[in-house]
């Protein structure tokens, strides 16, 4: 027997109830509309038949309508053309990239890359070029050292290039950030370094007013002048330079060189008394040579930082490389933090950060992230970002740490007795010692208990010649110049892409992309393996952090990173 369909009939009581509800609803809607004051749009009455020049007015109205429609159509067509152009540009870019990868980068691609690199101010090659200009142009070279690790801030390649250049070129050492080191340790370093080269104790002023800044007369909180605004050693350094001017009987140029974040630009600002150079916590703020006039007789040349050689140890690379924390891989940042912690006293680090005992670097970072509130979703510690913050703190002026000078004095081979005597000529060394003593006595330094003891890794090798930088850091430059290269390619394509692209070219591009993709799959299986390894590493980190407190009292990090 077939099933009958359910009847749609309702009882009268139910039907009347529904109708009543609908009427009430309509009444409510009308009431609300009345309250709002919304009225139906009045119909256009048009031009009355009795009006004069009725036909002309109607014609004008029609013409206006036509013009508006034409404008809308034109705008629509322009939008479509722009979308097509963008699509073609993207297709061409992809095709060009795939061609370069598949064919091993043709000569035209290499020439474009070279021109892009030359134009790129952020590249390491341009840094070397500008540094070389400063060294060649300057009569006196000031090598700025961080007082917390003076030996690690010295570059033997640069010192050799200055001392062996010939002529009357002088090299002076400026021991900056002396307010972050205990007095005893500072005196030891001054005694050690003055045996090799004339050394000036210096503390740059950190709160400098810009020339263009307006002076506000608002009440401010009390500021510790010895640690912020006051400058130490500037008078002594200016005296030395003036003595050299008198002996030479001509105007001199003074080059300021050093590794990133040692305080080159802040030293120039404190000598000038005005914020003449840009200063920042990020490394590599100065990207080209900058001339600052101090007197009629002295010019100071600000230079970009020295590039650390990739062959250096992990500690030197962590503290002395031009590191962009936004773009660098998390593995390299974690390696740097691990190297810093391995060269410090564990107890002092725990006391400084007020953190309980930790077993490895990842556990330390997790505890620090929890303390500072740097957490991801679900309360997971943000290890990558806290590692970047920690690196910035150690290169900046936040943390007080000190390293001991070597027990036995062994000068480098390029600093012979004749060269040291030549570098000490024309300078009043007795006056320099007295000025250094006065600066140390008048300075407010931290106590040895509040400063972390740090094991220096020795001198840091740097690259000054452009050829060496190209061979060693070509991959780094390619990553940095890719953005500018893409912009230049866009300009080239816009010149040639007007309306010459046809459907056939698009088909060719698609074929090339397919072939290149197939070739890439066959030739480069290592990239996929790397990606899998990275994903496994990140998964292991997250899993280790999610363990409960019942399993272990402290965090259980079983992951090993290289």
Residues 290-347: tens digit of each pLDDT: 888 888 888 888 888 888 888 888 888 888 876 654 555 567 788 888 888 888 888 8
In percent, the amount of the chain with pLDDT more than 90 equals 11
What backbone phi and psi angles, to 5 degrees, belong to 466?
A: -70, -40
Residues 6+ apart with CB under 8 A from 158: 135, 143, 257, 306, 462, 464
Residue 561 lies in a domain: no
> Looking at the structure, do residues 270 and 175 belong to the same domain, yes or no?
yes
Residue 5 lies in a domain: no
Residue 433 lies in a domain: yes
3-state secondary structure 235-268: HHHHHHHHHHHHHHCCCEEEEEECCCCCCHHHHH
Q: Is the dihedral of CA 316, 318, 323, 329 positive or negative?
A: positive
Token readout for 356 is 């309980």
Residue 467 lies in a domain: no
> Looking at the structure, do residues 271 and 318 belong to the same domain, yes or no?
no
Query: Of how many residues is the chain composed?
Result: 562
Are 459 and 415 in contact by the 8 Å Cβ rule? The answer is no
What's the N-to-C CA distance of the chain in angstroms?
Answer: 76
Last residue of a domain, one of 433, 448, 463: 448
> Looking at the structure, do residues 296 and 328 belong to the same domain, yes or no?
no
> Looking at the structure, do residues 171 and 191 belong to the same domain, yes or no?
yes
> Looking at the structure, do residues 358 and 273 belong to the same domain, yes or no?
no
Instruction: Please tell me which residue, 525 or 115, carries the higher pLDDT value.
Output: 115
User: Residues 338-357: what's their mean pLDDT?
Assistant: 88
Residue 485 lies in a domain: no
Indicate which CATH number applies to the domain containing 160.
Answer: 3.40.50.300
> Looking at the structure, do residues 179 and 261 belong to the same domain, yes or no?
yes
Last residue of a domain, one of 380, 415, 448: 448
Domain housing 266: 120-208+226-309+404-448
Are 169 and 423 in contact by the 8 Å Cβ rule? The answer is no
> Looking at the structure, do residues 190 and 336 belong to the same domain, yes or no?
no
Helix (H, G, I), strand (E, B) or coil at 146: strand
Question: What angle is formed at CA 231 by the lines to CA 230 and CA 232, rounded to 5 degrees?
Answer: 125
Closest alpha carbon to 155 in 245, 238, 264: 264
Instruction: Please tell me which residue, 558 or 42, carries the higher pLDDT value.
Output: 42
Residue 352 lies in a domain: yes
Residue 284's pLDDT band (cuts 50, 70, 90): low
Helix, strand and coil in the chain, % to nearest 5: 55, 10, 40
- Alpha-carbon distance 560 to 138, whole Å? 48
Predicted TM-score (pTM) of this structure: 0.58
> Looking at the structure, do residues 415 and 391 belong to the same domain, yes or no?
no
Closest alpha carbon to 369 in 359, 356, 384: 384
User: Residues 163-179: what's their mean pLDDT?
Assistant: 86
Pairing relationship of beta strands 462-463 and 307-308 according to DSSP bridges:
antiparallel
User: Residues 114-134: what's their mean pLDDT?
Assistant: 68
Instruction: Please tell me which residue, 184 or 557, carries the higher pLDDT value.
Output: 184
Tally: H helices and E strands in the chain: 19, 10
Residue 490 lies in a domain: no
pLDDT digits 0-9 by tens, 417-476:
888 888 888 788 888 888 888 888 888 888 888 888 888 888 888 887 776 664 444 433
> Looking at the structure, do residues 141 and 233 belong to the same domain, yes or no?
yes
Are 291 and 137 in contact by the 8 Å Cβ rule? The answer is no
The alpha-helical segments, DSSP class H, found in 261-329 are 264-272, 314-320
Last residue of a domain, one of 413, 448, 483: 448
User: Residues 245-253: what's their mean pLDDT?
Assistant: 86
> Looking at the structure, do residues 231 and 300 belong to the same domain, yes or no?
yes
> Looking at the structure, do residues 186 and 327 belong to the same domain, yes or no?
no
> Looking at the structure, do residues 191 and 239 belong to the same domain, yes or no?
yes
Q: Inform me whether the pLDDT recorded for 534 exceeds 60.
A: no
Q: Inform me whether the pLDDT recorded for 286 exceeds 90.
A: no
Indicate which CATH number applies to the domain containing 386.
Answer: 1.10.1580.10
Range scoring the smallest mean pLDDT among 347-351, 381-385, 441-445: 441-445
pLDDT of the residue at 106: 53
Token readout for 131 is 């540094």
CA distances from 139 to 211, 423, 454 (A): 28, 12, 35
CA distances from 356 to 140, 223, 345, 347, 371 (A): 49, 32, 14, 10, 11
Number of structural domains in the chain: 2
pLDDT digits 0-9 by tens, 44-96:
777 788 888 888 888 898 999 999 999 999 999 999 999 999 999 999 988 88
pLDDT of the residue at 107: 56
Residue 452: strand pairing partners: 401
Closest alpha carbon to 206 in 233, 177, 172, 182: 177
Residue 180 lies in a domain: yes
pLDDT of the residue at 20: 97
């Amino acid at each position: 027997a077939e099933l009958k369909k359910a009847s749609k009939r309702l009882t009268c009581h139910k039907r009347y109830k529904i109708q009543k509800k609908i009427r009430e609803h309509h009444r409510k809607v009308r009431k609300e509309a009345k309250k709002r004051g919304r009225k139906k749009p009045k119909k256009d009455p048009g031009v009355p038949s009795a009006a004069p020049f009725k036909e002309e007015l109607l014609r004008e109205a029609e013409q206006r309508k036509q013009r508006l429609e034409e404008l809308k159509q034109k705008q629509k067509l322009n939008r479509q053309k722009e979308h097509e152009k963008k699509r073609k540009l993207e297709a061409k870019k992809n095709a060009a990239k795939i061609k370069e990868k598949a064919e091993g980068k043709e000569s035209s691609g290499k020439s474009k890359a070279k021109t892009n690199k030359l134009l790129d101010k952020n590249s390491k090659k341009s840094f070397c070029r500008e540094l070389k200009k400063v060294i060649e142009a300057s009569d006196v070279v000031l090598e700025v050292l961080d007082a917390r690790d003076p030996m690690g801030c010295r570059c033997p390649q640069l010192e050799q290039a200055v001392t062996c250049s010939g002529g009357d070129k002088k090299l002076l050492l400026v021991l900056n950030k002396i307010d972050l080191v205990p007095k005893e340790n500072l005196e030891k370093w001054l005694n050690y370094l003055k045996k090799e080269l004339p050394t000036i104790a210096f503390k740059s002023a950190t709160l400098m007013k810009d020339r263009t800044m307006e002076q506000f007369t608002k009440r401010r909180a009390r500021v510790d002048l010895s640690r912020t605004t006051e400058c130490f050693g500037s008078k002594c350094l200016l005296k030395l330079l003036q003595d050299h001017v008198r002996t030479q009987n001509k105007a001199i140029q003074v080059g300021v060189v050093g590794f990133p974040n040692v305080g080159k630009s802040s030293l120039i600002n404190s000598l000038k008394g005005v914020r003449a150079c840009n200063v920042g916590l990020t490394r590599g703020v100065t990207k080209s040579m900058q001339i600052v006039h101090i007197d009629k007789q002295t010019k100071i040349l600000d230079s970009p930082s020295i590039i650390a050689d990739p062959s250096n140890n992990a500690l030197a690379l962590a503290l002395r490389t031009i590191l962009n924390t936004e773009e660098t891989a998390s593995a390299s940042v974690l390696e740097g933090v691990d190297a810093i912690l391995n060269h410090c006293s564990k107890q002092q680090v725990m006391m400084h950060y007020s953190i309980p005992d930790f077993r490895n670097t990842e556990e330390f970072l997790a505890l620090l992230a929890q303390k500072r509130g740097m957490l991801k979703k679900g309360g997971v510690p943000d290890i990558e970002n806290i590692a970047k913050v920690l690196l910035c703190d150690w290169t900046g002026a936040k943390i007080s740490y000190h390293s001991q000078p070597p027990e036995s004095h062994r000068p480098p081979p390029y600093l012979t007795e004749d060269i040291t005597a030549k570098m000490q000529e024309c300078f009043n060394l007795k006056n320099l010692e007295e000025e250094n003593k006065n600066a140390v006595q008048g300075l407010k330094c931290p106590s040895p208990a509040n400063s972390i003891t740090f094991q220096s890794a020795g001198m840091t090798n740097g690259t000054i010649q452009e050829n060496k930088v190209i061979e060693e850091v070509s991959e780094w430059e390619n990553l940095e110049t890719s953005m500018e290269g893409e912009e230049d390619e866009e300009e080239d394509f816009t010149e040639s892409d007007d309306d010459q692209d046809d459907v056939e070219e698009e088909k060719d591009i698609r074929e090339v992309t397919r072939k290149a993709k197939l070739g890439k799959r066959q030739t480069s299986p290592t990239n996929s393996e790397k990606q899998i390894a990275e994903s496994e590493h990140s998964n292991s980190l997250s899993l280790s952090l999610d363990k409960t407190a019942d399993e272990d009292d402290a965090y259980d990090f079983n992951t090993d990173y290289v």
